[in-house]
Chain A
Amino acid sequence: MASNPFTEVVTKISKAPSSGEYAADKLLRGIVWACAAVILLLVAYIVFELGRQAFPAIIRFGIDFLIGTTWDVQKQTFGILPEIWGTLFSSLLALLLGGGLGVAMAIFLTQDFLDDRVSNVFRTVVEMLAAIPSVVYGLWGIYVLIPLIRPASQWLNETLGWIPLFGTSLSGPGMAPAALVLAVMILPTVAAISVDAFRRVPYKVKEAAYGMGTTRWEAILKVMLPTASSGILAALVLGFGRALGETMALAMLIGNSNQISLSLFAPANTLASLLASSFPEAGPLEVKALMYAALALLAITLLVNILGLWVMKAATRKFEGKA
């Protein structure tokens, strides 16, 4: 009598899955599960393989490897303290410059300084800075940056030579050009994550500040920056992590010299560029030592990155459910 008007339509379009379709579903779930597991296995395999390759060197050199200062293939003594120092020092200098510029760029892009067209220009600038390959920065550093800063380094060395930072003058490659290029390379990372941090601050926070009669910069410095501070911290830590692992530009610019110096203009070395420059021609024992150095680099970068992600998670959680 009262027939269901949908019966016809429904039976034509929908039906219960056949057993073949159930099997296909099972299969797909299995495959995607395996692919997700690949990343776990990959990380485990990387740590295991580097550890296995480095094991003979760890047994042979022990902790002395981390505090030794000579890398001498003839005498078969290997130590990476200068490289650890160079890695941390160059990354810290890059963070001071690139981090500051990156946060300034993020403020510039998010705090209503620019109309859409101009801010698109600067956003493109940041994206292009990130897209240029490391070797190209290295090449640019050798033929543009080093000749450019050499006169300045001479002047600084002559007039302010008593400050350890300016203790030597730049004869070619060295810490200053390496750190400058590194700063340019981490700027996009810091800027992008800081932009996200500023965007997460609810708009009413800024409105409230303006409503109190603050100037634009009082609102930025006293309200926006403190509110976004944990996200910006995450940006700086992740930028630092990026700088620690950067290889090619540094291998081309830092001078690969095994020494610990505070001077900005002295050649130095980093763990990554030690690997890049020594690996291709290394003998059997030196390869083991380099694997040990790779393991040290892995440990440092993993630590810094996990710290950065942890800070970022805390920063993101801060505004969840409040805006």
Chain B
Amino acid sequence: MSEQASQATLGRAVLTEPRLRASVFEGRGLKSRLLTGFTWFLAALAALPLISVIYMLVAKGGARISWETLTALPPAAFEFGGGIGPAIVGTLVMVLIGSLISIPVGILAAIYLAEVAPSSRLAQVARFLAKVLTGFPSILAGVFVYAVLVISMRSYSAIAGGISLAVLMLPTVILTAEEALKQVPQRMKDAAYGMGCTRAQVIGKVTLPTATPGIITGVLLAVAGASGESAPLLFTALFSSYYISGLEGLAEPTASLSILIYNFSGMPYDNQIELAWTASLVLVLMVLALNILARVLGRRKA
């Protein structure tokens, strides 16, 4: 009898229609929706500085863009006009020096890490140190090159600036090139070995050509990063108001866009501050162009 009754209550409990529709203001759903809104807010907040920076670059820097500004010498304190010509050339020259050193060494080191002896002791240590160096403060590269080169050459120079950029580019080139080389399918290499190729031939004729797009992407990202660097140039290349003159000019102080921005930003003259904005616009366009190129090439590979 009592058993029957309990079964009846159980039946009623089960048969009560479950609520299959969430109410808008139910705690859990509401919380979820509020958090989603908050995340949208945070993401928009993160985009805000970018929008503001770009607006300022276009509004303030764009105003002074002209052939004259891009080629003229920087103005002296009370002068009007002037330009950022030597700084553009200086940045390009020093990034070129840095690239000429770091790209070959970096790619060859990456070949060792990815192809020749991936799990050797040397490769493991080198890979770890390259990763550590990606977080290496850029100013310390400047201090290091100052201690090694500037003191012994007794002069600030484009060469010293370029070498300090090379120190910063090297780990990026190594790590991205290693990653690109590792993407090459093993069976392609096996096929080449099966034909009697030596390791050098496999690397030169199969691995490197196949990995080239990926390597170029990494290299371009390293170059873009180096173009925007300023801390390492501060006391290796210093600054100069004149164009680099010939090859001997490489051993003399050299202007760069980033140091020009740094120097002019603190000056109490409107003319210099406007030029700092123009230089920023040119520098950002340069860096972004390299970045976009890197992404486009990287996407084609994938």
- B126 pairs with A276, CB closer than 8 A: no
Q: Is the interface of B mostly helix, strand, loop or mixed?
A: helix
Instruction: Give 6 A-B contacts (CB < 8 Å), ordered by A residue.
Output: A14-B195, A38-B170, A132-B53, A139-B265, A276-B234, A309-B131
Instruction: Report the count of interface residues on B (CB-CB < 8 A).
Output: 90
- A133 pairs with B125, CB closer than 8 A: no
Q: Which of B3-11, B75-83, B142-150 contacts its partner?
A: B142-150
Asked if A319 is at the interface (CB within 8 A of a chain B CB), the reply is no
A95 CB to nearest chain B CB (Å): 14
> Which residues in B have their C-beta under 8 angstroms from that of A43?
129, 132-133
Chain A: CB-nearest residue to B57: A136
- B147 pairs with A39, CB closer than 8 A: no
CA distance A223 to B135 in the complex (A): 31
CA distance A53 to B145 in the complex (A): 12
- B39 pairs with A143, CB closer than 8 A: no
Q: Is the interface of A mostly helix, strand, loop or mixed?
A: helix
Chain B: CB-nearest residue to A127: B291
With contacts A32-B116, A279-B235 taken as known, whether A15 is within 8 angstroms of B50 at the C-beta atoms is no
Interface contacts beyond A128-B288, A245-B140, A298-B137: sample of 13 additional A-B pairs, CB < 8 Å, sorted by A: A28-B200, A32-B112, A35-B105, A36-B108, A36-B113, A36-B126, A49-B147, A138-B262, A140-B49, A245-B139, A251-B262, A302-B132, A305-B131
Residues of A with Cβ closer than 8 Å to B?
A: 13-17, 21-22, 24-25, 27-29, 31-33, 35-40, 42-43, 45-46, 49-50, 52-53, 100-101, 104-105, 107-108, 113, 122, 125-129, 131-140, 142-144, 184, 187, 215-218, 238, 241-242, 244-248, 251-252, 272, 275-276, 279-280, 290-291, 294, 297-298, 301-302, 304-306, 308-309
- A36 pairs with B49, CB closer than 8 A: no
Asked if B15 is at the interface (CB within 8 A of a chain A CB), the reply is no
CA distance A302 to B57 in the complex (A): 35
Which of the residues A13, A42, A107 comes within 8 Å of B195, measured between beta carbons?
Answer: A13
CA distance A170 to B36 in the complex (A): 35
CA distance A52 to B238 in the complex (A): 23
